[in-house]
Amino acid sequence: MSLRSVTIVGPGRMGLTLGMALAQSREVRSLTVFGRHPEPPAHPLFVKDMARYVFGVEPLERDSTVVLLAVPDAHVPEAAHALAAQGPAPEGCSSFHLSGALPTDVLEPLYHQGYGIGSFHPLVAVSHPMTGADHIPGSYVAVTGAPETVRTARLVADAIGMSMFAVPASRRALYHAAVVMASSYLIPMLGLSARLMERAGIDPDDATTALIPLVRSTLASVEEHGFPDSLRGPIARGDLETTALHLRALDAGDQHLYALVGSEVLRIGADGLDPRIVEEMKEMFDRYVGLETTRIGTGE
């Protein structure tokens, strides 16, 4: 089996990114994008005639292999119903939504029309549709679906240079929590770091500019050495005095977050520390977490 015609519903950031990656792969005979506006967005896919734009929804081409519903989570059921209303699926065609959280049964209208149904969730942050395709090769995609649907998803992943793993339907919420913590949670942590640096007298722009290379080097270390060997800082080396100094310098809410995250740092790096230091540090973190929890619970 090979990719033939591919349809993308929704010319948003991820839809255009995947569309561009597929068009550049030369593995797709024809690419069609369904959109809600009469005119296509000003994107190379349409400016260079790499894809055909359709206002609304129409029946898929007979040799269609894949349809990707690249719409916001809240609009996936609507898109599934609209496509299902166009009639039976082309033979062997699979449909995927791109949500990490939604179950596959939101595509049930398409299943009843003969489509294979699944989820195709790229683990890549796309900030702009013009450059998003540059970040696709070498990234990962998480797929959920029946075996034949997963095989179709692998065709797409292979065509655009993505690695793929399957996530059981029953564990999708756990999987999605994991990727949200790795991506979305990184932003507020950096924001907090920049805010603390500003309070320390550093210009806000300089703070952000200084933090980015630090984060890049940390990620590179994780990639090369793994988690425990990449830990740095006072918690990783069992420095109780410096850790306590940090906690005293922070406001109550920031103390709580520092202690919560510090407890996870301690868990990862505990094997390399003196057990007595680990216990003392754990007790210190527990005091700050417990005090904050008490305040929240009592309304104080």
278 has pLDDT over 60: yes
CB 262 within 8 A of CB 243: yes
Neighbours of 114 (CB within 10 A): 14
List CB contacts of 171: < 8 A, sequence separation 6 or more: none
Distance from C-alpha of 103 to C-alpha of 254, rounded to nearest angstrom: 35
**For residue 245, which of 253, 236, 255 has the smallest C-alpha distance?**
255
Q: Which two tokens stand for residue 298?
A: 């009592």
Query: What are the sequence ranges of the domains in the chain?
Result: 5-170, 183-298
The CATH class, in words, for 5-170 is alpha beta
pLDDT > 70 in the chain, percent: 96
Q: Which two tokens stand for residue 175?
A: 């999987």
Domains 5-170 and 183-298 alike in fold = no
Residues 155-164 pLDDT 10s? 999 999 999 9
**For residue 270, which of 236, 233, 222, 229 has the smallest C-alpha distance?**
236
Neighbours of 271 (CB within 10 A): 9
Residues 77-86 pLDDT 10s? 999 999 999 9
124 has pLDDT over 90: yes
Q: Provide the pLDDT for residue 299.
A: 45
Neighbours of 121 (CB within 10 A): 24
Strand 30-35 with 5-9, pairing:
parallel
In this structure, what is the dihedral angle of CA atoms 56, 62, 64, 68, given to the nearest 10 degrees? 30
Topology given in CATH for the domain delimited by 183-298: N-(1-d-carboxylethyl)-l-norvaline Dehydrogenase; domain 2 (1.10.1040)
